Every structure is written in C-alpha cells, then in structure tokens.
Amino acid sequence: MASAAEQLASNMSMGVFSKATELKQRLWFTLGALIVYRVGTYVPVPGVDASVMAEMLKSHGTGLLGMFDMFGGGALGRMAVFALNIMPYISASIIIQLMSAAVPQLEALKKEGEQGRKKLNQYTRYLTVFIALFQAYGIAIGLESMRGNFGPAVIDPGMFFRFSCVITLVGGTMFLMWLGEQITARGIGNGTSLIIMSGIVANLPSAAVNLLKMGWTGGLSAFFILFFIVLATATIAAIVYVERAQRRINVQYPKRQVGNRMFGGDSTHMPLKINTSGVIPPIFASSILLIPATLAGFASGGPAWVQWISGQFAQGQPLYMVLYAAMIIFFSYFYTAVVFNPEETADNLKKYGGFIPGIRPGSATAAYFDRVLTRLTTVGGIYLVVICLLPQILITEYGLPFYFGGTSILIVVSVTMDTVTQVQSHLLAHQYEGLIRKSRVKGRR
C-alpha cells in the first residue's frame, strides 16, 4: 500500500511538473512569435526608399498616419512588409460583427456553435484580404507620388511596383493574422492584442528619450515633464482601478429537498465589469478612422478637398476628436451587447432556479440586467473617452511623443493585465490539480 501511495505521489508531482512545462512552452512560444513580428517590421518593401517615407511621417505623422505607425510598431515609417499591421483584420472583424446584428443569416451562424463560428471567421478572413488590398493599393499609389529631399520614394514606379507592393503588404497582414491566431491557441493571451501592444512597447524607450531631449534642449520645462510623469502615473492607476472595478449583483438559489437531504440555498454574486468592452472600442475606432484616411494622408499634392480631409483628420483637430469619441461610445455599447445577452443570462438563471432578491425571474430579471449594464457602459464609455482624448490635448499643445497618448497607455496596461491574469489562471489550475491528486493519495493511504 505504501509503495502504491508513493507511486501516486510521484505521478502527481510529474503531472504538476508537466503542466508547468506546458506553461513555459506557451510563454516561450508567445515570446518567439512576437520576436518574429518585430523582425518583420524591419524587412523593407522592395523598390521603396524608406528615408523618404520617414521624412513624410515626420511632417504628417501627427494625425492618423502617426497612429497607424504607432500600432504598426514603426513599420510604416520604415515601409516594412508589416506596414499595414493587423488593422485590416480588426476592421474586418468589426464589419462582420456589425453585419451579424443586422443580417439574419449571419446572426443564425452565431447560434450554430463551433461550426458557425468557423464560417464567420472564414468570412472575416476574406474581408480582411479585401480591405488589405484596398489599403495596400492606396499606399502604393501614394508612394509613387511622394518625393523627398533625397528624391522620389519609389525607385522604379509602374504596374510591376504596384503589384509587388500590394502582394507584399497583403501577405504581411495575412501572416500577422495567422500569427495572432497561433498565439491565442498555443501561447498566452490574445494574439491580436499582444501584437498591437508589442509594437507600442517597442517604441516607448525612444519616445521617452525624445521627451528627455525636449527637456534638455529647453523645448519643455522640467516642471512640465514632472507634471506629465505624475499625470501618466495617475492615468495608469486609474486604468487599473476601473478595469478591476465590478458591480456585483446578488444571486440566490432556493433550497430543495432530495430524499432526506436538503440541497441549495446558496447565495452568490454575478460580477459585471464597469468597462465590459475593455480595450476593444479604442482599437475599433482607430481602425475604422484609418480606412478613409489612408489615401488622404498620402496625397501630398492632391486636390484641395483631399488636403482638407487630411487636415481635419490630424491629431487634435475638432473633427478627429468628435469622431473618435463618438466611435468609442458606440463600440462600447455595441461590444457590450455582443458579449453579454441579458435575456440569455436571465433564462439561464431561471433554468437553474437562481433569482435576484426583489426581482421576478424571467423578463423582469432581463430588464434589470439591461438597465444595470446600460448604466455601467455609460460610465465605462465616458472613462474611455477621457483616457484616450485628454492626453491628446497635451500632445497637440506641447508636441509630446505620440506614444504617450491615452490610447497607447490604455492598450499596454489592459493587455498586460489580461495576459498576467491568464498566466495566474494557468498557475492556479496547476496548483488545484496538485491539491486534488494529493488528497487522493492521502485517501488511499
């Protein structure tokens, strides 16, 4: 008996060790995939003078082109194969989700389970290719019309360059889409969010150096730099506080008698986050705003109306601020409605005998969930607008580095928190499995 118990204990330790090894493998796979992504941001598109593109971004990089370059980790400024980044995939996901709420056929696919989700993912990939083709062709046309102090941006313009440029950029986007899916399935965290975050984090050191240079050369006062550091710290603290905040709704289950024993009678709570949509609304809003501004941002010598559109979409302009805020609010409500269904949640509670004290089960519970969620989403949407737009004023007025914007800070902090939470979940699952096996060993002794 003792030898059997020792064998079980050995199997238990080996099982926990294998689980820890799996977590390490997931972490190493995620790190390796992100390194591959970062290497790709330095591989240039054939036939393009990257110095002209960098010069273009210096003069026009304060608007959406700068945000595009920020999400791409500087790939647009270097005109690399990953210049489009993963934003076309995000735009396609938004469009498919919007159509799923309006088109009955797509809505029916969402209810078919795993098979329906595979079909929706396939439609998303097809739409990603179409959007990437549109943006890549716009970039190719814009590059041919660009000239810098060192000459034209394109060494040999023509149909061959356009074809090769489009194929290269679209291929880079599709590779990143596949890489993000691989990180989600075989690594830790959401692959798409991690790719965007890694691009932002990679340029934060250079942005910090530029900020210090501005203080050293007298462009900014030491007091203002100190104020900005305090403001950034307070912003991070506010993001952590709100992202962790919950509204807990009490749920009770009645007692029931089975034979001579009583079961149930438990009281628990249902947590609802203040910001249910997370970092999705700013990313969605940014990707949507990038589509109409792609061509306008590159048309340096185009018609007057194109120049007007490009100017209005510059960072800090009223039209840009209003559209960005409106889209953040809209996607806050939309994505919350996608991830949380009050009617379905109320039906599940009623099915298992749960109820909210003072609220009748069924439609009254669904209406209560909808009312609470609407209020929480309103607060969460306002919070996102303040976090994303307030630093824009400082960037516009004082010329601070773009990477210190509220959107970039929100993405970095939120994605980091989600990834750490997933790592902790893996560790807790391993510890829980080890405790179960340990109790079984004691029982057999």
Least confident segment among 25-29, 181-185, 427-431: 427-431
Tell me: the pLDDT tens digits for 230-278? 888 888 888 889 888 888 888 887 766 555 665 556 777 888 888 888 8
Contact between residue 348 and residue 97 where contact means Cβ atoms under 8 Å apart? no
For tokens 């403001």, what's the residue? 231
Contact between residue 162 and residue 72 where contact means Cβ atoms under 8 Å apart? no
What distance in Å separates the CA atoms of residue 418 and residue 347, rounded to the nearest whole number?
29
Stretch (H or E) spanning 147: strand 147-148
pLDDT at residue 168 tops 90: yes
Domains, the chain, ranges and CATH?
2-444 (1.10.3370.10)
What distance in Å separates the CA atoms of residue 76 and residue 169, rounded to the nearest whole number?
11
Predicted confidence band at 415 (pLDDT cuts at 50, 70, 90)?
confident
DSSP character string of 21-78? HHHHHHHHHHHHHHHHHHHHTTSBPTTB-HHHHHHHHHHHTTSHHHHHHHHTTTTTTT
Beta-carbon contacts of 250 under 8 Å, excluding residues fewer than 6 positions away, are: 267, 268, 269, 356, 357
Please report the pLDDT score of residue 116 as a whole number: 78
| Residue-wise burial string across 83-120, b where 16 or more C-beta atoms lie within 10 A, e elsewhere | bbbbbbbbbbbbbbbeebeeeeebeebeeeeeebeeeb
Tell me: the pLDDT tens digits for 382-394? 999 888 887 777 6
pLDDT higher for 34 or 206? 34
Please report the pLDDT score of residue 170 as a whole number: 93
Predicted confidence band at 303 (pLDDT cuts at 50, 70, 90)?
low
Mean per-residue pLDDT, 25-51? 88
The pLDDT > 70 percentage for the chain reads: 76
pLDDT higher for 311 or 189? 189
Contact between residue 92 and residue 135 where contact means Cβ atoms under 8 Å apart? no
Please report the pLDDT score of residue 8 as a whole number: 40
Give me the phi and psi of 152, to 5 degrees please: -70, 155
SS3 268: strand
